[in-house]
C-alpha cells in the first residue's frame, strides 16, 4: 500500500499549479538544489511553496490528521521525523532569503480551494516572509 503513495505531482499539487499558472504566475518544480526540494519555486520572487498532505506532515487541528491503530510506535516516530524535517527545511530556506508558503491538502479541497488560491495570490504579490493555510 505504501508503494502507491506519491511524493510529487499529487492531486492537490497539480490543482494548485494549474490555478497559479492560470493566474499568470510562472514557476519551476522540485528544485533539487534547495532544502526540501520545494514543490513549486518562483526564483524571480524568491518564493518556495510546499503542498503538504495533512496526514504525512501532521496538520495540527485538521480532521485528515489521523493516526493508524497498528504499530503506533512506528507511526509516532515517522510523524515526528517528518515534522522535524519540515521545520528544519523551512528555517534553512528563510535563512537563505526565500519566502516560504505551506499550503495544506485540506485547504485545496472542495469549497475552500478558491479562497486558498486568492489568499496565496495576495501573499505572492506582497512581501510577507511566510504563508500557511489554516486547518479546515
Distance CA 78, CA 72 (A): 10
Q: Is residue 35 part of a domain?
A: no
Residue 82 belongs to a domain:
yes
- Local confidence band at 1 (pLDDT 50, 70, 90 cut-offs): very low
- Look at residue 117 and tell me if it is in a domain: yes
Domain of 108, CATH number, reads 3.40.960.10
What's the average model confidence in pLDDT over 24-48?
96
**Mean of the per-residue pLDDT values of the chain:** 92
All three cell numbers of 49: 511553496
CA dihedral 64, 67, 69, 72 (to 10 degrees): 170
Any domain includes 48: no
5 domain residue, yes or no: no
What's the CA gap between 84 and 56, in Å, rounded?
12
**Domain residue limits at 102:** 53-126
**Three-class SS of residue 23?**
coil
C-alpha cell at 105: 491538502
pTM for the model:
0.91
By percentage, how much of the chain surpasses pLDDT 90? 79
Number of domains in the chain: 1
Amino acid at each position: 500500500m505504501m508503494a502507491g503513495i506519491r511524493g510529487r505531482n499529487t492531486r492537490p499539487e497539480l490543482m494548485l499549479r494549474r490555478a497559479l499558472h492560470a493566474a499568470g504566475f510562472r514557476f519551476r518544480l522540485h528544485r533539487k538544489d534547495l532544502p526540501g526540494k520545494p514543490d513549486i519555486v518562483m526564483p524571480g520572487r524568491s518564493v518556495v511553496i510546499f503542498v503538504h498532505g495533512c496526514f504525512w506532515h501532521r496538520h495540527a487541528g485538521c480532521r485528515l490528521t489521523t493516526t493508524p491503530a497498528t504499530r503506533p510506535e512506528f507511526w509516532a516516530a515517522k510523524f515526528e521525523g517528518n515534522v522535524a524535517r519540515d521545520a528544519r527545511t523551512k528555517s534553512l530556506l528563510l535563512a537563505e532569503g526565500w519566502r516560504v508558503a505551506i499550503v495544506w491538502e485540506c485547504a485545496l479541497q472542495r469549497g475552500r480551494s478558491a479562497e486558498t488560491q486568492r489568499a496565496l495570490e495576495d501573499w505572492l504579490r506582497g512581501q510577507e516572509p511566510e504563508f500557511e493555510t489554516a486547518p479546515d
